């Protein structure tokens, strides 16, 4: 059974037009049935050219989540005949580039059976990342932290691995905002501080003061959304929907 959540937000407080989050979970068998009608002809051709099943599935999951987020942000019903006129192309660094949805762009992420996308106005870039907390990634993530981040993360009551994953997703989400991904040295995305408010984690960056990130720690999942300061994100509502709607496991789409 497909599980999904969606949430609209205001790009600027007081303005009606903004963006939207769409996150879903399904099996590989359900995925093809759901997503293929949403693909633009160019996307369908690219998907057809992919050789490996895992890559084919993650491509479908990302495009489906992105189309649903875009249509939701445009206040349209998610009808496939509209969705397949929107093309999500690939930029020089592999970042999604939207054509056919006005000024809207998207950020895409997936982990395990979960995929998500964030639609936002091009003038106010945003990013999203989801990761499952995995013991086998502890050493890798730990090596990517600065000394200051390591000290900061060890001060929290949550397990160190959970906070490492949270910090990583906050960096990954910011890297999508500036459209470089993790090709940029990670110390540029160093966190200056993390504040906990009502069970939500708000991160500040040493080098990107105009952005902040809200993270949802719903073990074994961490989801981080990076946005320009002043964006009206309904963070508590998103966290509640994730907890109520998503079944967590480590199987892959």
The CATH class for the domain spanning 1-123+232-253 reads alpha beta
The CATH class for the domain spanning 127-230 reads alpha beta
Question: pTM (2 decimals)?
Answer: 0.93
pLDDT-derived band at 250 (thresholds 50, 70, 90) equals: very low
Give tens-digit pLDDT for 28-77. 889 999 999 999 999 999 999 999 999 999 999 999 999 999 999 887 55
Q: Which of 247, 207, 242 is nearest to 224 (CA)?
A: 242
Give tens-digit pLDDT for 116-171. 999 999 999 999 999 999 999 999 999 999 999 999 999 999 999 999 999 999 99
**Average pLDDT of the residues of the chain:** 90
State residue 224 phi and psi, 5-degree precision.
-125, 135
> How high is the pLDDT of residue 18?
75
Q: Which of 229, 205, 222 is nearest to 169 (CA)?
A: 222
Neighbouring C-alpha atoms within 13 Å toward the C-beta of 6? 18
User: Which 3 state secondary structure label does DSSP give 101?
Assistant: coil
* Matching fold, domains 1-123+232-253 and 127-230: yes
Boundaries of every domain in the chain: 1-123+232-253, 127-230
């Amino acid at each position: 059974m497909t599980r999904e959540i969606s949430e609209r937000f205001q790009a600027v407080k007081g303005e009606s037009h903004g963006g939207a989050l769409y996150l879903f979970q399904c099996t590989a068998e359900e995925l093809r049935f759901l997503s293929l009608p949403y693909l633009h002809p160019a996307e369908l051709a690219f998907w057809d050219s992919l050789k490996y099943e895992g890559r084919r599935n993650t491509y479908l999951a990302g495009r489906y989540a992105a189309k649903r987020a875009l249509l939701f942000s445009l206040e349209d019903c998610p009808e496939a005949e509209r969705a397949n006129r929107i093309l999500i192309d690939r930029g020089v660094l592999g970042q999604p580039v939207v054509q056919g949805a006005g000024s809207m762009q998207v950020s895409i992420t997936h982990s395990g059976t979960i995929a998500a996308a964030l639609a936002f106005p091009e003038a106010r870039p945003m990013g999203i990342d989801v990761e499952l907390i995995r013991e086998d990634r502890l050493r890798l993530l730990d090596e990517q932290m600065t000394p200051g981040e390591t000290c900061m993360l060890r001060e929290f009551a949550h397990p160190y691995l959970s906070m490492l994953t949270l910090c990583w997703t906050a960096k990954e989400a910011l890297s999508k905002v500036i459209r470089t991904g993790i090709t940029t040295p990670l110390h540029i995305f160093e966190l200056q501080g993390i504040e906990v408010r009502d069970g939500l984690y708000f991160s500040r960056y040493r080098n990107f003061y105009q952005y902040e990130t809200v993270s949802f720690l719903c073990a074994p999942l961490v989801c981080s959304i990076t946005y320009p300061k002043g964006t009206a994100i309904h963070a508590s509502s998103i966290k509640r929907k994730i907890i109520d709607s998503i079944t967590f496991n480590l199987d892959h789409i």
